[in-house]
Amino acid sequence: MRSIFQTVGLVFFFVATAADASGTSQTVLLSPPQSDEPVVVRVGFQLLDINSIDEQTESFEFSGVLTVQWVDQRQAFDPATEGVSEKFYQGNFQFNEISPSWYPEISLLNVAGMFEKGEPLCRVQPDGTCTLVSSINARAKTSLKLMHYPFDRHALRLVFGIPGYTDSEFRVEPLPMPESSPGEIHLPQWSLLDVRSTPATILPTSPGSNQPTSTLLVEMDVKRSPMFVLRLVVGPLFLVVVLSWSVFWMDRASVGDRMSVSFVGLLTAVAYQIILGDILPHIAYLTPINVFVNLSFILMCASIVVNLIVGELNRSGRGAKADTLDNRCKVAFPVVYLLLIVMISVVFSLRF
């Protein structure tokens, strides 16, 4: 009986020892590699598509491939012993349940709600170099300056980093990736000019630390194609303003007809402003297109004032002065309108 208890005790001892050793090994593998220098994590991003750009929320939706590479000597192996020249962990199950290694959780720090990551592929080389590849589809927050709308261009930014760590623990470096051809990215009203990646630092994300966090900054230069706004807003409204000047060629005695033409143009401009309220960006500051629409509205209001003055001069027997005013307006209104358009272009190009 005594020998039976001794045997059972030895079994429990070995099981506990094995569990403790397994737990210790797992703890070591789940912790970052120990080093006196910051662990270098190389991050690469390949843009596949820009799905949409939202001026109201200052965000954009995109899709791409995120590649993360680091070296963990604890993952090194002998190809002859393992029977493979490279280890693969493909899919969520293999990566989460079978892969024994710690890995850097790269996050999109300026995410704006949606963030979807495809199934990962982790490749481990004999020297411990690990490469983690996954597709992402997300929406990111960025800063849009629309002062030049619709002739604006922006740098859409993605900030990838490891939150909770400082730059003394991890250093993010760019990983060369196949460049996205601007011609392959098709987005209505926009053209992709350039994509570049640079290392950067941001405010601390580690609790109780004042050291910055190392990140990878991906900037995508995009330029708006203004033809949509020009043909929808500028062209039709310009024609309405020009046609409203036809009152200066009408009989000075037909005040009612002149006022009808002017008010039709004015109401058309008001209707355009209502329609454009849903199309143009909802921003507080002025843009060239806002100034153009407002000046067109003011000039049509000025033509109504001229009609009233011409009518009053005609009723008071000063028809010659009324004709002179009409003749001067035939030249003054087009010249002033064109000068104002040029001035808008010059002021906004120099100021911003």
Average pLDDT, the chain: 83
Beta-carbon contacts of residue 77 (< 8 Å; ≥ 6 apart): 87, 124, 126
CA distance 344 to 150: 13
Q: How far is CA 136 from the centre of its chain?
A: 15
Q: Where does residue 188 rank: exposed (0-12), middle (13-18), buried (19+ CB within 10 A)? A: exposed
Question: Do 35-224 and 228-351 agree at the fold level?
Answer: no
Q: Which fold has domain 35-224?
A: Acetylcholine Binding Protein; Chain: A, (2.70.170)
Q: Which two tokens stand for residue 260?
A: 């009808």
Domain boundaries, the chain: 35-224, 228-351
Check: pTM over 0.85? Answer yes or no.
no
CA distance 188 to 305: 42
Coil, helix or strand for 177?
coil
- Tell me how long the chain is: 352
Q: What is the pLDDT of residues 99-143, one digit of tens each?
A: 767 888 899 999 998 899 988 999 999 998 999 999 999 999 998
Question: Virtual CA dihedral for 91, 96, 102, 104, nearest 10 degrees?
Answer: 60
Q: What is the pLDDT of residue 205?
A: 61
Q: Where does residue 18 rank: exposed (0-12), middle (13-18), buried (19+ CB within 10 A)? A: exposed
Q: What is the pLDDT of residues 258-314, one digit of tens each?
A: 888 888 888 888 887 787 777 777 887 888 888 888 888 899 999 999 999 998 888
Q: Helices marked H in 158-287 — which ranges?
A: 227-229, 235-244, 255-279
Please tell me which residue, 210 or 200, carries the higher pLDDT value.
200
Q: How confident is the model at residue 29 (pLDDT cuts 50, 70, 90)?
A: low
Amino acid identity of residue 88, one-letter, is: F
Q: What is the pLDDT of residues 59-104, one digit of tens each?
A: 999 999 999 999 988 888 999 888 899 998 888 777 777 776 788 8
Sign of the Cα pseudo-torsion (82, 88, 90, 96, in order): positive
CATH classification code of 228-351: 1.20.58.390
Which residues, in sequence order, are bridge partners of residue 157? 219
